[in-house]
Amino acid sequence: MGRQVIDTSDYETLIGHLDTYIQDVELNRDSMLRAATDCSDNLGNDKLSMEAIGQLQEALKSLGNSLEQARELKQKVRKKIEEIREIHL
């Protein structure tokens, strides 16, 4: 009785999509960091700009959490691919 071949291409596609998501979020996060720095540099310690920077920092924190979750999911998918390959070798 031969071993069953399991196609892991959907998992690999998911990893590719997660890579794209992570890269896009990192680029947007970097843009937001530059915007916060520019705002601070150009407007100083103005009350309204400080409030906006605070809100931006909260958004950046949320993006950081999303990135961490995406990276963890990517690792889990990689582990699943390895498990499938080990079982069906």
User: pTM value?
Assistant: 0.79
Mean pLDDT across the chain: 87
- Measured over the CA atoms of residue 59, residue 45, residue 31 and residue 71, the dihedral's sign is negative
Domain-embedded: residue 4: no
Domain-embedded: residue 18: yes
Domain-embedded: residue 2: no
Q: Distances in Å between the alpha carbon of 60 and those of 24, 36, 50?
A: 14, 10, 15
Domain-embedded: residue 69: yes
Domain-embedded: residue 3: no
Domain-embedded: residue 72: yes
CA-CA-CA-CA torsion for 31, 14, 75, 2, nearest 10 degrees?
A: -160
Residue 11 has pLDDT above 50, yes or no: yes
Domains contained in the chain, number: 1
Cα(62)–Cα(65) distance, rounded to whole angstroms? Answer: 5
Domain-embedded: residue 89: no
Domain limits for position 33: 9-84
Confidence of residue 74 (pLDDT cuts 50, 70, 90): very high
